[in-house]
Amino acid sequence: MTRLLDRYLASAFLKTLLWTATLVLMLFLLVDLISSAREFIKDSSGMLGHYALRIPVVLVMSLPFATVIAAVFTVTQLEKSHEFLPQMAAGLPLSRVLRPIFLTALCVGLFGSGLQEWLFPQLKGLSEPVRTEDSGFLKPPPILLGNETLSLLRYDPRSNTAQWVLLTIEADDGKREEIFAASMSWDATQNGWLLRRGQLLRENAAGEPVIVSFREHLQSLQLKPLDIETAQLKTVDLATGFHPATFLNLAGLWRQWQKHAGTASSRLLFYDRLVYPLSFFVLCLVGVPLALPRENRARILGVLMGAGLCLAYFVVSFVFRELALRSWISPEVAVGLPLAGFFAFGWVTLDDASS
């Protein structure tokens, strides 16, 4: 009897998840189709590859939140129709009654990991028909290393060349030097960056700003090409719109870790892939108990609290990863602490809901 009820609950949850994920994908398709309409009107040949590439990636990215929403909705609907009462009356604890939800969520997470492991490496070639003139360029955020701050429009890792560069250097005496250049390329023979067609702003002995124009200027920096390529997670391949590591499997992420000597970004990417299925379980553990009605709380308030706390998990995870990229905490702490903290909170909340 218990197994029959477990299958019924898991089936209801999966049906709701299917509709939720479909709705998310339809919204994505609508927004993307509107934004890409001009491009497809000019040339519709790349439309199939465009969406064959993006739909699986968007599905995997949105699946954790869609799973929580589906779990919360399923539980509230079943509780509203008093379908939990037979199991609760038989003496089963709430954690046992909800176990099919948690295990199914974990299975959905493993399905998402399977897509990343086996399907994603096959998808990147689909971006070829819709590549733009910016294909292959990276677009990193401002990079801070020591007393140097580098902002650039785009960077080509194949030639170690950046375009439209703004470089700020803080001296030990408090003086500041700013360099703006149209391009910057790595000169391995002189172990420095060759800046072209720009201006250098510095202070003279009297503290007055002086502007010097140049056609070429060799600048020695702490920043190296590897820092630009791997020091941040936000880098985007403009040909696909996704981080290049999106299309790597675990073995590829491990090779990237080894190649870049375990930089913070390569370690974070590897750990993120490992804990991806666990995040489904933890998010449902947090969201589902809060969605259950209480004597002093309306049902809709519980649903909003559950969804809000799951959103808070993504915000906290993002903040911790930013701290890891700035070397303030280790990548292991950045990935593990939010997961462990929300797991503990969800376990306490589930225990409280059971009482």
Alpha helices in the chain (DSSP H): 2-42, 47-80, 85-89, 94-97, 99-114, 120-123, 225-230, 250-259, 264-291, 299-325, 331-354
Our CA angle for 187, 161, 240, nearest 5°, is 150
* C-alpha radius of gyration, the chain, whole number: 25
Supply the pLDDT for residue 39: 66
Region 284-307 average pLDDT: 70
pLDDT for 135-179, tens place per residue?
A: 567 777 677 777 788 888 888 877 888 888 988 888 766 678 889
Maximum separation of any 2 CA atoms in the chain, in Å: 87
Q: List residues bridging with 186 in a β-sheet.
A: 193
Contact 171, 152 (CB under 8 A): no
Q: How confident is the model at residue 130 (pLDDT cuts 50, 70, 90)?
A: very low
Distance between CA atoms of 83 and 73, rounded to whole angstroms?
14
Q: Both tokens of residue 233?
A: 């997670």
Our CA angle for 102, 108, 110, nearest 5°, is 105
More confident residue, 67 or 84: 67
Q: How confident is the model at residue 256 (pLDDT cuts 50, 70, 90)?
A: confident
Q: How confident is the model at residue 129 (pLDDT cuts 50, 70, 90)?
A: very low
pLDDT of 1 strictly over 70? no
Region 328-334 average pLDDT: 88
pLDDT of 224 strictly over 70? yes
Angle between helices 331-354 and 299-325 (to 10 degrees): 160
Supply the pLDDT for residue 226: 75
Region 293-302 average pLDDT: 60
pLDDT of 237 strictly over 70? no
Q: How confident is the model at residue 288 (pLDDT cuts 50, 70, 90)?
A: confident
Q: In what order do the strands lie in the sheet with 148-156?
A: 143-145, 148-156, 161-170, 176-187, 192-203, 209-219
pLDDT for 192-205, tens place per residue?
A: 899 999 998 887 77
Distance set, CA 61 to CA 253, 268, 277 (Å): 18, 16, 12
Contact 200, 208 (CB under 8 A): no
Average pLDDT, the chain: 79
Q: Are strands 143-145 and 148-156 parallel, antiparallel or unpaired?
A: antiparallel
Supply the pLDDT for residue 109: 92
pLDDT of 286 strictly over 50? yes
pLDDT of 96 strictly over 70? yes
pLDDT for 170-193, tens place per residue?
A: 876 667 888 999 999 998 888 889
| DSSP state letters, 239-287 | TTTB-GGGG--HHHHHHHHHHTTS-HHHHHHHHHHHHHHHHHHHHHHHH
Cβ atoms < 10 Å from Cβ of 291? 24
